[in-house]
Chains A and B, each alone.
Chain A
């Protein structure tokens, strides 16, 4: 309804402040008497902390305190938790090593904090930190999964023998073995899913402010889910009871998952603020971001796929080693299990699947959810396998996929997921048409005459978003429910505030959520504002990750809107002396259908608040809230095709075309959806070609700055050719699936499939750097 309703390409309301430099981020906030924290971090990947001598630092100007790991343990601040319990195949619970907010005895990755200096300014804190002498006794380090699982490897945690967190399985091993025993062909593939550093534009930051008179804390922090932060800080870290802790996540400059988690720095800032009696601010720098923001991916996988004589897939076996880094981050355990292995059926009918995932500790930065979280790893594996199979079976890769597509819905896979709806042929058709797949052979031949190696690569991804039915995730070990809440407040003058538990850190909720209100009431979005990111304003919320804000958060708003509209209709009917059932809402007015009798929304709102003439027994006011618990995951899916050329002389890849045909269900704002896809594709292509967080064999990071870690730049990327095919999600009333992660999930396989097609060699790991591609081309 209206020009600003659902489906309209409305310009983002929030961009005025962002593009004019008026955003208000944590670091922009200054409190009276505020001190500054600088963390002293381990330069070693693995060491005993023998002694910390802060006597010289304490005498330096402006130094308020030097606090150590032993003190935070002595004060009974809780160890960091992992909120999803995974059970190994032998029935044992996952094996967690203790993770104190600052290390009292042992450091297990470069960058782990051992102490913090609190001073009047940031620079003084940093000066003083150089005067703190930490005596370490170095221990051998294990830097990757291969080193960690070796017999006799250095052990990280006494709780986890063999550096193993869990050995988890899913699917039916017997059925899979039977399929392989009868297979006409078996396709095998070893792949590494490279470790990535998330690199949100805004580094993490926190300000903690303790009010001794009220025994109350306020925490300003860079969080994607401030209520979850408050819950965890309160229930597990013993900071304060929930009603004595307010968490505010103001403007947040990107998260990509890395700002879901509650990190040691927030805990230390809160604890230190009470200790020193002044507000404490910490703003991480880029180096700290590389060292301490939870990394993503880092899988080593062997997979085998069985085919019958007609090229139908009959079985899949997967064994994955997942590197968790030195500690189990907040949701890390779920990423390579329930967010990864449950998507291993891809878009295909696979009757038997068995997957084993071994979680491993290493002396590296902890690994957790990063844009896509498990689904990129699954999608990359399956789509590399399908391309490998097409080459081995000598069939067209599109035809092989079509032959195995799931075409009937709902479809129960052998790995938990029940796909509700989709049309995989439609998205593949759209992508093939957009890239002129039929004309590729001629283009490749022409490129060859010009000395260029041209390739084409497909990726037909599916993912699971809108996490998730609380009962279902609870039965799988999740420590929280994954519903969302919303409140609609109609003010006495008819303007509207939407309070949401979702959190916008780039997604554009301040625009898209208003579009739902505009759609339903026919009012301009300028009359609606979105309130989020403050535990004192919004009652509760589970936050934004997993592409859940539209499918879950917006549905909660819809539920609250329906309640509000129902009451408003009663008020309007009473004022218009009409029957409630005859009232319709159009262009901001409540009308008696088929008549010219109407009352405008502001008059309905005013009537609600003056309460001079309400229906008998009705409470005054016009404010409703709702909690919405999803009925299923949603399943965005699509087809990406990449066409590129490889320069044989340098190994450098140049894009010719990149098409993305996505099925996200209903689109609220196609412009914002396109922006989300662009960003996701950039990160997927970044993983395929550029990005890799690397450690040397001693656990020293070698990519801890932008001089070494290759972030994709605009000129590394092609212009994207986007389109949408739509099947509406039956699981929520708006038919929404989610679009925030698709690009990052689907893109990397398309790129690698295209490069391996171009160079005629199938074995190529990510990132496909020019050096690596050149060596692959010229390898014997």
Chain B
């Protein structure tokens, strides 16, 4: 790791002003990506601003049909939260198959979506549920927020404060774990909103990060059942391919995981 200056912010405003003062500052949430990258000397921020002790970034609120998870809430706390389990159990499940216990104790929802790894779990949930990302400056729809591999709508120095999920009628998540990293080799989140919209998002599959799957959405719109997806064709072009899965395999997984997510959603 290169030399860096560590700051522990006590509020979002303080974090933002510390960031503005740094030459190449980075926010630190759970550190599950940034710290390994720094240890490998692949990142060399001048300043590291720790958001982990900011109280206003902690916690979960259920208000009517909206579940709000503050950005600094750890996966473990999300997984254990009674409101999450009640309102959107698919999110609790997604969190339970994310990483391993050590990752879940440290990692946060805000950190995950800010990084936007193309195989991360949470982007699929946000996109399928039509969530809204709240920052210290504005609100951004999930659709607009995720902009490709490791790229988001966040501006320099902008801090995610929370994610708001409309509570769906039904939702389910199914994941094929990457055998080494435990990210998604491919995973699919399906949701049926209370207004009847069907939204399906796949992660770990596309070369451009989390994606909607319109063909599966159309099939499920006509018939909400795993069998409805049997006849859907998912193209392997533009899908990721590596030693753990060919593009054709991932195309198959998009279908199979979607079917299993529908089964899980009920």
Contact = CB atoms under 8 A, between A and B. Distances in A.
A263 interface: no
Given A649-B256, A650-B256, A771 B180 contact: no
Contacts of B21: none
Interface in B159-198: 176, 179-181, 185
A769 B179 contact: yes
Contacts of B180: 690, 706-711
Q: How large is the interface on B (under 10, 10 to 19, 20 to 34, 35 or more residues)?
A: 20 to 34
A770 B252 CA distance: 12
Contacts of B148: none
Contacts of A694: 243
A774 B243 contact: no
B52 to A, nearest CB: 23
A775 interface: yes
Contacts of A774: 249, 252
Interface string B245-266: 1101100110010010000000
Given A702-B243, A707-B181, A652 B176 contact: yes
Nearest to B183: A707
B137 to A, nearest CB: 33
B176 A650 contact: yes
A710 B1 contact: no
A714 to B, nearest CB: 10
A404 B1 CA distance: 60
Contact of A775 (B1, B179, B249): B249
A59 B185 CA distance: 47
A392 interface: no
Nearest to A716: B179
Interface residues of A, number: 26
B243 A650 contact: no
Contact of B179 (A123, A126, A649, A690): A690
A333 interface: no
A403 B103 CA distance: 52
A164 interface: no
B175 to A, nearest CB: 11
A625 interface: no
A704 to B, nearest CB: 11
A703 interface: yes
Contacts of A127: 2
Q: Main secondary structure on chain B at its contact with chain A?
A: loop
Contacts of B243: 692, 694, 702-703, 708
A652 B1 CA distance: 38
Nearest to B253: A650
Interface in A124-140: 126-127
Given A706-B180, A710-B179, A711-B180, A771 B244 contact: yes
Contacts of A709: 180
Contacts of B259: 649
Contact of A771 (B1, B100, B246): B246
A771 B249 CA distance: 6
B228 to A, nearest CB: 16
Contacts of B245: 770-771
Nearest to A709: B180
B261 to A, nearest CB: 13
B1 A123 contact: yes
Interface string A19-63: 000000000000000000000000000000000000000000000
B112 to A, nearest CB: 16
Contacts of B249: 651, 770-771, 774-775
A769 B244 contact: yes
A715 to B, nearest CB: 9
Nearest to B256: A649
A649 B252 CA distance: 8
Contact of B246 (A650, A707, A710, A775): A775
Contacts of B40: 287
A331 to B, nearest CB: 29
A126 B249 CA distance: 41
Nearest to B245: A771
A708 B246 CA distance: 15
Contacts of A690: 179-180
Nearest to A651: B249
B128 to A, nearest CB: 20
A770 B100 CA distance: 20
A127 B249 CA distance: 42
6 contacts: A649-B259, A706-B180, A769-B179, A769-B244, A774-B249, A774-B252
Interface of B: 1-2, 40-41, 100, 176, 179-181, 185, 243-246, 248-249, 252-253, 256, 259
- For the complex of A and B, list the 7 residue pairs with the smallest distance between their C-beta atoms, beginning with the closest: A710-B180, A710-B179, A649-B256, A771-B249, A707-B181, A771-B245, A708-B180
